[in-house]
Amino acid sequence: MRKSFGALSDIRILDLTQMLAGPYATMVLADQGAEIIKIEPPAGDVTRGGRHAGDTEPLSTYFQSINRNKRSVCLDLKSEQGREIFKTLCKEADAVVENFRAGVMDRLGLSYEVLSEINPRLVYGSLRGFGDRRTGPSPYVNWPAFDVVAQAMGGMMAITGAEPGGMPTKVGPGVGDTIPGLMLAFGVLAAIHNARRTGLGQFVDVSMVDAILSICERAVWQHTAEGLVPGPEGNHHPFLCPFGIFPAADGHVALAAHDQGFFDVLCRELDLQALARDVRFSSKGKRADNRRLLIPLIGQHTRKFTKAELTARLGGRMPFGPVMNVLDIVSDPHFKARDMIVEVEHPGGEPARIAGVPVKMTLTPGAVLTRSPFLGEHTAEVLRSIGMSAPEIRSALDRKVAHIENEVSPEQIPAGLAT
């Protein structure tokens, strides 16, 4: 049985999402205790397959990272039986979430309109590259999209990179997926809150490119207010200085000393009295106007010190931090104290390390309690909960799961499959 915990323990969501964006949305809800029932096709989520050294087929480390705390039910929605079971599950669900291309659920006979007839309070969350016709028709509504497309068309790449006119630069992590995922999680929660007040669910639509544009808001208002078309900003701020990345003897550091008090600290701790007295840098406005002069002058001094030495001089005295890679992060006391690197059971070897829960609560703390589920691991358990008998459940089990049951001993069957 599922262990109940967290602020969202009374919420049940049917999760049809795959890849990164949608599963990330439901992961952040699962981390706060929402019951996420991951509905997977017979082949499973495509990210289950191993891609990296040490991965195993049932649970890749990628899949582990974004599907923890969830339960897996294997249903073939292309079959009449699978669709009927899914409709029954919808009767007691707060929300359905999917990230298929436009029209897929409609063609399956499982559109929002069909499901809302079954459960009027059901929230239907949708995440696609360019949104859904229900909230605003886009000429690109049928286009597929991934992270790189969202970053490109949402305006992020245009302002990311080293030099104006240079090659557009993709942000390293898949923010074109994860940011829309966060917005979908917020939208679904908001709609559930409203449904509990009014008894009426609704369609929640998140476009990946819209989500990226929304966080590039500065480019929009700069264009409005100043007529600018902002370009790549490199590692420094377009109108605050010093505010960015500076060299160290063994790497780089980030610092923000644009305000006078912080600039005074920087100059004092790095023995930059000459800069402090220089009339060209005597105010925030002058530092911004002369940033192309100031940035290399500061860099000449920061590169004399290691990251540890700069941390000793500047850490805690001004906005400052060393540029850290994952080796630095996993050994850093902050991330250990904040439980931001957690271990989950991983088949066939050592536990998998994944990122922890960033939203901390004192009364109802979130947590990573369980590894990601095996394909169909909880099918029998969930189907029993809606009144299906053992023979009905056996007939509904995916062939791949049924094969597992026939070929292995009972103690080897993942919990929840035995009927």
Active site residues: 177
C-alpha to C-alpha distance for 56 and 73, rounded to whole angstroms: 20
Return the structure tokens found at 91: 């009767």
Three-state helix/strand/coil letters over 79-107:
CHHHHHHHHHHHCCCCEEEECCCCCHHHH
CA angle 409/411/413 to nearest 5° reads: 75
User: What is each CA distance from 332 to 275, 288, 337, 338, 342, in whole angstroms?
Assistant: 33, 33, 9, 10, 14
C-alpha to C-alpha distance for 317 and 416, rounded to whole angstroms: 54
Residues contacting 356, CB < 8 A, separation 6+: 338, 339, 340, 341, 342, 368
C-alpha to C-alpha distance for 138 and 145, rounded to whole angstroms: 14
Handedness of CA 371, 374, 375, 378 (dihedral sign): negative
CA 209 to chain CA centroid, Å, is 15
Q: Are 206 and 188 in contact (CB under 8 A)?
A: no
User: What is each CA distance from 59 to 46, 49, 348, 373, 399, in whole angstroms?
Assistant: 11, 7, 10, 8, 19
Return the structure tokens found at 57: 């087929």
Q: How does DSSP classify residue 134?
A: T
Task: Say what angle helices 208-215 and 175-198 make with each other, to 10 degrees.
Answer: 100
Alpha-carbon dihedral of residues 137, 143, 209, 26, nearest 10 degrees? 100
Q: Are 8 and 29 in contact (CB under 8 A)?
A: yes
Q: How far apart are the first and last CA of the chain?
A: 14
Report the 10 Å Cβ neighbour count for 352. 23
Beta strands in 279-375 (DSSP E): 320-322, 341-344, 352-355
